[in-house]
Amino acid sequence: MNVTKGKEGKDQMADGYILQMKNITKTFPGVKALSDVTLEVSEASIHAICGENGAGKSTLMKVLSGVYPHGSYEGQIFFQGKEMAFKNIKESERAGIVIIHQELTMIPELSVTENIFMGNEIIEKGLINWEKERKRTKELLEEVGLHINPNAIIKNLGVGQQQLVEIAKALSKNVKLLILDEPTSSLNESDSENLLKLMLGLKKQGITCIMISHKLNEIAAVSDYVTVIRDGQTVDGYAVEAGKVDENKIIRAMVGREIENRYPEHTPKIGEVVLEVSDWNVEDAKVPGKMLCKNSKFHVKAGEIVGFAGLMGAGRTELMRSLFGKNMGIFRGGTIKIHGRDVKINSVQDAIKNKIAYVPEDRKVLGLNLLDTIRKTTVSANLDEIKTGGLLDFDKERAAAEKYRESLKIKCRDVSVGVNTLSGGNQQKVVLSKWMFTEPDILILDEPTRGIDVGAKYEIYKLIHELADQGKAVVLVSSELPELLGMADRIYTIFEGTITGEISAKEATQEILMKKMTITA
């Protein structure tokens, strides 16, 4: 690790800053991702960083952690009073800086112990000392409040447990500054609350946390200071009074404009029933006898937005994926009617032919091929539409991609760039454009705004309203109850694979929904 003592080092630590990033500028070909960004983080604090997708938050953290090595950016980094010049992640981790990414990086087939000590094994006489590793793993798991067997396989753990294992792994590296990128985006309310409590516990131990988050209620709950980044620049920053955040002030700083209402005003134009599902039963393929969907029955009308509420594991995604071509679980009976006609949907191709589209909750695994370009992705679910004389017409492909780039306001240099170069919000817009290109009558949106900032959410909400106004039947699955209350015309609740309630949005409250989400009908 290249370390040089900064002239201001002693003063910086006297001021109580564990980290100072000064005048950081990072440029990619044709794009200035960061421009003269400054960040100061106090020791033993929780510092929140907010900003729209693509604002530069993750780029700044990659500069800090050595993903973008010293020399590839302009500016200075001071950590614990010394100027740092990290060449890679290993150097930043040796200094005590550990980053936990939004997409967890563990190997699913390996054990908890193997994942925690991967690349950092306890070696004695040329061999791994498994007994010491398992003992230390148990101690680390207890520190994060996770009571599981160190030999447990990662893929068998819930997302919340996996997140805690990642933090245990960070603690094994003698972490001084822990960076968490959207740490609760995939967690349910209970797991999110436990993680926030853990962060407060780490703070008491003297560990500093940087939290990148779009959830303003969580920022209010745990943060000591907020920095807002917009378009690659630091635009605001202020201390947080315990439990209080001026949400409107943060939103204004993030998006550069006032958003008076988180959810756009909308008057639905509801027509006839488009989709009817009756007595839908699906068995878990891995656990014989366990039902993922039990006698599910619901309907959606043209122009209607129907929400589905349920805790993580309640069966919302399982229901939607099983309807979309029976690609989850084992089908055990049920019927689907579209426009009053019985249909048989045994594959994704059948679903597309019957004008059903499905935007999955995990856009990077199920929604996109990260090796593809925007233009290829846009047309991938409806290639017949761009054929001329039996061959793919690349002019039609580009025209289609450009159309959705413009209408969905996808921020990119060109539709020929890879989808992996886009921010989360823009990736989600590409997934939406792919399914809009199929011209569906029924659009299933599973967590369409997960991990997306307030400004991008607002744009997607307006798009959902536009699709409903075109007469499409829209199903909206969301873990955020305010989102369902703000967007849906009717809401179904699910608990353990059973639909437990149907409530009009006008009558629904968070308390009513939560009650029906936690009891059997």
Same domain, 170 and 187: no
The residue among 229, 107, 218 whose CA lies nearest residue 157 is 107
Same domain, 471 and 338: yes
Same domain, 91 and 114: no
Same domain, 161 and 229: no
Chain-centre distance for alpha carbon 480: 13
Report how far apart, in Å, the C-alpha atoms of 65 and of each of 174, 213, 219 are. 15, 18, 22
Q: How far apart are CA 138 and CA 313, in angstroms?
A: 27
The residue among 486, 485, 488 whose CA lies nearest residue 474 is 488
Same domain, 311 and 377: no
Same domain, 423 and 444: no
Same domain, 379 and 234: no
Q: Is the dihedral angle over the CA atoms 361, 363, 369, 370 positive or is it negative?
A: negative
pLDDT score, position 11: 43
Contact 77, 86 (CB under 8 A): yes
Same domain, 13 and 63: yes
How would you class 282 by CB atoms within 10 Å of its CB: exposed for 0-12, middle for 13-18, buried for 19 or more? Answer: buried
Q: How far apart are CA 479 and CA 485, in angstroms?
A: 11
pLDDT score, position 452: 73
User: Both tokens of residue 159?
Assistant: 């997302």
- For each successive 10 residues of the chain (521 residues), what is the average pLDDT? 42 72 89 91 94 81 93 96 94 92 82 92 91 94 89 86 87 90 74 85 94 83 91 87 71 68 89 97 87 95 96 85 92 96 94 94 80 93 90 93 89 89 84 91 91 78 93 93 93 93 92 81 50
Same domain, 331 and 457: yes
Chain-centre distance for alpha carbon 160: 13
Decide: pTM greater than 0.85. no
How many domains in the chain? Answer: 4
User: Both tokens of residue 41?
Assistant: 């983080």
pLDDT score, position 4: 40
* CATH code assigned at 309: 3.40.50.300
**Of 408, 423, 439, which one is at a domain's C-terminal end?**
439
Same domain, 9 and 77: yes
Same domain, 187 and 85: yes
Same domain, 206 and 162: no
pLDDT score, position 75: 96
Q: How far apart are CA 31 and CA 340, in angstroms?
A: 51
Question: Phi/psi at 425 (nearest 5 deg)?
Answer: -65, -40
Amino acid symbol at 516? K
Contact 484, 454 (CB under 8 A): no
3-state secondary structure of 340: coil
Q: Report the b/e string of 301-318 with b at 16+ CB within 10 A.
A: bbbbbbbbbbbbebbbbb
Q: Report the b/e string of 184-222 with b at 16+ CB within 10 A.
A: bbbbbeebbebbbebbeebbeeebbbbbbbbbbebbbbb
β 177-181/97-100 pair status: parallel
Which structural domain, as residue segments, surrounds residue 170?
Answer: 103-174
**Of 146, 174, 202, which one is at a domain's C-terminal end?**
174
**Of 144, 174, 204, which one is at a domain's C-terminal end?**
174
User: Both tokens of residue 490?
Assistant: 């009717």
Amino acid symbol at 178? L
The three-state DSSP-derived secondary structure of 132-188 is HHHHHHHHHHHHCCCCCCCCCEHHHCCHHHHHHHHHHHHHHCCCCEEEEECCCCCCC
